[in-house]
Amino acid sequence: MLRAETDGKSSIICLTSIGTPDGRIFGLPDDMQNATLHTELIKTEIFGKIKNTLKKRHQFRKIWITLTEELSNIYLDDEGNLQFGNYYLEEITEKEVEKSTQSTSNETIEKLLKKILEDKQQKSEVKNLGKIANDFMIDKFNGRNSNACQWINEFEKECERCMVEEDRKKIEVLKFFLENASADWYTCMILKYTVESEWNDWKKNFIETFGNKGWSPIKYAFSFKYQSGSLLDYALKKEKLLLQIRKSMDTETLIDLIAIGLPDYVSNNIDRDNLQETQDLYNEISKLEHLVKKNISDNKGKVYSDNKFKKFEEKKPCRICENANKGKRFHPESICWFKEKNDNKTKPLKSINNSELEVELNQNDPKN
């Protein structure tokens, strides 16, 4: 009989029963039916024909095989009882043979259906995990945007909130929240530990790999200042940076650090005593957005005026060159080449008192 292997992919030829010339039938247990176990039988010419005959699963043939001395030693004991190895075969009826054949066929179909259902369930589970991941209220980790220890703890809290309790599911959901180098790290961990490992091993390795022990993130968060754009966007970004490096930071410190990064013309218009929560600061900042536009407009006018004055100065001819009869030359007087010569000509000569000079000469030794 040709039936499916346990993996459902390959097929094997099985010897299900042995009949005798007097019409009796003896069945073989399932673990003894694989034709590869019957080494002498598969050497015969008849087995080769059977192998070419059975092309589809659940096909079977009843055939007679001449009992050679080698086969007799394997399947008969000295008293003529049917055996295989150290096991005596059990006599069965024709109906039992048909029932056994049908049962084997049903078992094969059941195994295939079970495997199909398992594959379908796994695919469905992956889709469900993707939907669960969409409910997580946490940013993706890319190795630069957050404190690793703090981020993985937040991930665990989200797993608890979304009822992801099994270690395997935590590991599978984790892949939806990793980017860049952390995504490569996940692939390496799958190869080394697999999804069947313990979550604590993954968490420990994650913190050891991405835990930033330097000062760069802290310096960046504390020194982050408003440059351009919306004041509210700046304030929210600053708060996020600060909380990413230290979630336990108190509200007053958060407010102070956000306000420090604001331009003076904005922070000077905010009463610090009225701020109890960060949203109070955001409310005040939103009211002062117009100052940014005004400041930009004033700076544009000032720059335009300065540039216009500079251009006017550049077009004005150098008076030093004109006075020196060098013609009209357009350059700043401060860098004029004739300025130094003109300064030397107009420099007053120092007068010397003749009487003092005479006295000094008389005091000198005439021999000298």
Residue 358 lies in a domain: no
Structure tokens belonging to residue 270: 């905010």
How far from 325 is each of 77, 123, 319, 329, 338, CA to CA, in Å? 139, 94, 10, 11, 11
Low-confidence ranges of the chain (pLDDT < 70): 1-2, 4, 6-8, 94-127, 145, 212-214, 296-315, 340-368
- Domain co-membership, 332 together with 284: no
- Domain co-membership, 104 together with 151: no
Residue 184 lies in a domain: yes
Picking from 210, 239, 259, the residue at the C-terminal end of a domain is 210
- Domain co-membership, 178 together with 261: no
- Domain co-membership, 193 together with 255: no
pLDDT at 156: 93
- Domain co-membership, 92 together with 31: yes
DSSP 3-state of 180: coil
pLDDT at 173: 92
Residue 116 lies in a domain: no
- Domain co-membership, 22 together with 82: yes
Residue 354 lies in a domain: no
Residue 59 lies in a domain: yes
- Domain co-membership, 234 together with 260: yes
pLDDT at 175: 92
Domain count, the chain: 4
Residue 61 lies in a domain: yes
Pair 292, 303: CB distance under 8 Å: no
Picking from 75, 94, 110, the residue at the C-terminal end of a domain is 110
- Domain co-membership, 150 together with 66: no
- Domain co-membership, 176 together with 92: no
Picking from 148, 181, 210, the residue at the C-terminal end of a domain is 210
pLDDT at 357: 47
Pair 84, 72: CB distance under 8 Å: no
pLDDT at 368: 46
- Domain co-membership, 91 together with 147: no
Residue 123 lies in a domain: no
Which residue carries 């010339």 as its tokens? 21
Domain that holds residue 271: 226-292
Residue 163 lies in a domain: yes
pLDDT at 125: 53
How far from 273 is each of 16, 270, 291, 311, CA to CA, in Å? 92, 9, 21, 48
pLDDT at 18: 84
pLDDT at 311: 56
- Domain co-membership, 139 together with 106: no
- Domain co-membership, 92 together with 11: yes
